[in-house]
Structure 1
């Protein structure tokens, strides 16, 4: 039985493990490393080799990578079970997500250099990322979100210190255009099954919903999965 403490008191649980203060993430812990090694070095099940030998000896069936050539029902089934890769982050009180393929880099905050007569509430200026000056924007202002004061320490409902979070800057590439914006917290890359996705309600009052492609159910939260093409095409119109 593999000890899976990371799902209970670790990074995927309530984060109450005292070792997190030292190792930061479960993947840096010896328990996590030992569990992975035991998984890879475990004994093969009975008849495992015989089953694979018979399987590999069978005549392969041609497989097409073009889903458009598949029957309609088979194509719909393949799309339903194909998970989405997304990056979940927080702006103020709002949890949002963008396609993982749009993210190029995640960095600590860097100084923003304003542009004379060009910087405004959306285009904040330029930021130096690995020696390259890139345009830095306020995604919160573009989406019309209300910003709240952010603190690195978060408290639970009882007022007890539960975890520490830090703001980050993210670099995204949208159809060759590179932008940088700040987030108050980032949860990293997640694979989301499509059955956890909901259509956007037709009547809503929250500002970012007009830029939302889907609603994603994640850890008892409703995440606005942003339509990156709509968001950044609107951005270009607003600042150019």
Structure 2
């Protein structure tokens, strides 16, 4: 078979090119262009946890959530992350022979005996005579609660007169502690917060917990 016959058999005549060869050349050119484009793109690492929310400007501008509560006439706050539980007020059992004034006794909390301490005694707040707590009559008011504070591996509870709830103030709303603020001289207060018409002392949970531990020694 001659070359002309071969060309006629394959459908190609003189001056024509094989379309398959042209298609292969075009595909190769596209692959080369794509490779050059990818080489110019910056490498962006993939987030292994795409469900993590990127904090917005509002979250960055705000501090941690605080639990606001009242002890006698003083409004105070602790980080919500350190409060294990807000429990109804209940009677506590005195500890015979214990001389630490801050230790009120033991409270049954979810089946376990937990030390109950006086934040009033720790901060030097004197309650009104009619509101003074005793083992048989621990702050008999409808608004009073027990707050369970987690400090290290320990859990302690302390009675409060009233619990307002949680707030997440802006960082700019937190001010420096004046020397006259409750707990400032002992280092318990680390900031003050203007809330409604009150000045709230924001307590350091580490210092409060350490003082509770000393009261148990």
TM-score interval w.r.t. the shorter chain? 0.5 to 0.7
Q: Is the 8 A contact 1:119 1:125 kept in 2?
A: no
More contact order relative to length (CA 8 Å, sep ≥ 6): 2
Separation (CA, whole Å) in 2 of partners of 1:92 and 1:137:
15
Separation (CA, whole Å) in 1 of partners of 2:94 and 2:68:
28
1:175 aligned onto 2:152: yes
Q: What is the alpha-carbon root mean square deviation over aligned residues?
A: 2.9
The verdict on how the C-alpha distance between 1:136 and 1:63 changes in structure 2, with shifts beyond 3 A counting, is same
Task: Give the SS at the match of 1:170.
Answer: strand
The verdict on how the C-alpha distance between 1:165 and 1:63 changes in structure 2, with shifts beyond 3 A counting, is farther
1:99 aligned onto 2:85: no
Alpha-carbon shift at residue 64 of structure 1 (Å): 11
Deviating above 4 A after TM superposition, structure 1's stretches of 4 or more consecutive aligned residues are 60-65, 77-80
Runs of 5+ unmatched residues, structure 2:
1-43, 50-56, 133-140
Q: Is the 8 A contact 2:86 2:147 kept in 1?
A: yes
Runs of 5+ unmatched residues, structure 1:
1-59, 66-76, 152-163
1:136 aligned onto 2:116: yes
The verdict on how the C-alpha distance between 1:195 and 1:167 changes in structure 2, with shifts beyond 3 A counting, is same
Corresponding residue pairs, total? 157
The verdict on how the C-alpha distance between 1:78 and 1:115 changes in structure 2, with shifts beyond 3 A counting, is same
Other-structure match for 1:191: 168
| TM norm structure 2 | 0.64
User: Quick check: which has more Rg, 1 or 2?
Assistant: 2
